[in-house]
Amino acid sequence: MTTIKLHNTKTRTKEVFVPIDRKNVRMYVCGPTVYDRAHLGNARPVVVFDVLFRLLRHVYGPDAVTYARNFTDVDDKINARAAERGRSIAEITGETTQWFLDDMGALGAVEPTHMPRATAYIAQMVAMIADLIDKGHAYAAEGHVLFAVDSWKAHYGQLSGRTVDDMIAGARVEVAPYKKNPMDFVLWKPSTPDQPGWDSPWGRGRPGWHIECSAMAHDLLGESFDIHGGGNDLMFPHHENEIAQSCCANPHGEFARTWLHNEMLQVEGKKMSKSLGNFFTVRDLLDKGVPGEVVRFVFLQTHYRKPMDWTDKKARDAEATLRKWRALTAGIEPAASAAAAVLEALADDLNTAGAIAEMHKLAAAGDAAGLLASAQIVGLLTPAMAAWSEAPAVDLTSHEARLFAARQTAMDSKDFSEVDRLKTAYTEAGLEVRMSKTGVELVPGPGFDAAKLEDL
């Protein structure tokens, strides 16, 4: 059997993965807060843990792995979006949840075994909070219930590697008169009449964010399970707080044995942000004609624990590679198993970059069957992802040169009518026209029709 090694954030070491029960391998990953489209950074953990899900199923069997990824559908951002658009919270969360599933499906992500919605687990959250109060780990104050960090002070901070005192000194914590300790965090908070709320022993209110995952993970996976994953931005305070409240509520369990965190995403070497104008959603890329398989390939070229840089060049190169690989494997049945070197790379802390390098070797050697089996274990070259590549690639270099020459002529004559005519024709054909001082780039969009270029 393949030996899997994973870097455990909690121990800061790469460990041999030994499941608690190899017939019931369990993984929980923090999912989205559903109030808008998923941006590109939101998609990275989905792809990372989708590959791990596939690997675990390959090693232990498809029926031996349980993967839970939640939807947070009660949150102040959702409330604000519903009020802003004059729509109900149920409409907003229902629509955005489906958007997320559609967009992640376009990237080839397999749907998890369980996709719990927080609002369906309010009773479990209330029960866990009441239990924490009974055990002296939480207290009620002014309609709120807060976790008492001092009750877990000896252990709090082990995941992120910080002491409580360091956290207080360096953190921006909410100051409230009802807190016994600045680091105490909310388990339950009161709701106004216009906010969603549920009855509880502490009055009508709604859960804090951290308690949601603890309650859902416990209900679906038990007191102890194998892997908990998410982006490294969740390590503190979210995952730290999950550990505290879960271990205090269930002192005989481990909660999660292994913690995996993926690094963040950049765009052209810079942090993605609206202020820099480099913020875009998965749907933005798909609508521009970037195939979901291409997005997935670009993600997999970087190890999950390293920052990933999205660039247009990487996307173009990925598309070219995938077209070659799909042409090579057309009409071929996959080998019985992925190549040993590919499996070895994946089993070494999910080294997808190493696995892709091995696939390039298989392609160069003409091993189509081995390439196909190896690619499919990471969700590439699957039949479901093939549609985009079935249309032949169109060489647009002559059109790009023509438009560039027309513009150069127009710069001298000051007559831009031919430039405008060509730009209009290319746009109507479904091409995005990108012009700069150094050249012209024509990028096919989702409605690109090459036939419309024939009369130009």
The tally of CA atoms less than 13 A away on the side-chain side of residue 376 is 20
Do 345 and 355 form a contact (C-beta atoms < 8 A)? Answer: yes
CA distance 262 to 88: 34
Which residues are CB-contacts of 299 (< 8 A; sequence separation ≥ 6)? 43, 44, 47, 48, 308, 352
Q: Is 248 annotated as a binding residue?
A: no
- Give CA angle at 105 (260, 263), nearest 5°: 25
Cα 374 from Cα 65, distance rounded (Å): 20
Nearest to 245 by CA among 336, 335, 146: 146
The greatest distance separating any two alpha carbons of the chain, rounded to the nearest whole angstrom, comes to 84
b vs e for 178-190, b when ≥16 Cβ sit within 10 Å of the residue's Cβ? ebebebbbbbbbe
C-alpha separations of 377 from 52, 288, 329, 373 in Å: 10, 27, 15, 7
247 is in an annotated binding site: no
Tokens of 298: 């670009």
| 213 assigned to a ligand binding site | yes
Beta bridge partners of 224: 255
- Residue 117, classed as helix, strand or coil, is strand
Annotated binding site for Zn(2+): 30, 213, 238, 242
Annotated binding site for ATP: 274
Annotated binding site: 30, 213, 238, 242, 274
